[in-house]
Amino acid sequence: MSRHLADKRTATTGARVKAFLNIARSKGETGRDTFHKPREGAGPARMQQFLRIARGRTV
């Protein structure tokens, strides 16, 4: 018994990946900068939560 027509996928051409990379390159970023963005420092509220967890408090 053969597969249904919907179950036969054609090989992808990578068009979505190409489009993604073209957009990333058009922003003027290169290499690692495209995918690895520096994060902002933790704000005061977030730092408070980190310290609360580090001290062992859950609530």
At 25-58, the pLDDT tens digits run 787 766 677 677 777 877 899 889 989 999 987 6
What is the extent of the structural domain holding 18? 1-37
Has residue 48 been placed in a domain?
no
What pLDDT, on the 0 to 100 scale, is given for residue 15? 92
Token pair of 10 as six digits: 């054609």
In a domain, 5, yes or no: yes
pLDDT of residue 31: 67
In a domain, 49, yes or no: no
Cα dihedral sign, 6-8-9-11 = negative
Inside any domain, residue 42: no
Provide the domain count of the chain.
1
User: Tens digits of per-residue pLDDT, 7-28?
Assistant: 888 878 889 999 988 887 787 7
Q: How far is CA 22 from the centre of its chain?
A: 17
Residue at 24 is within a domain: yes
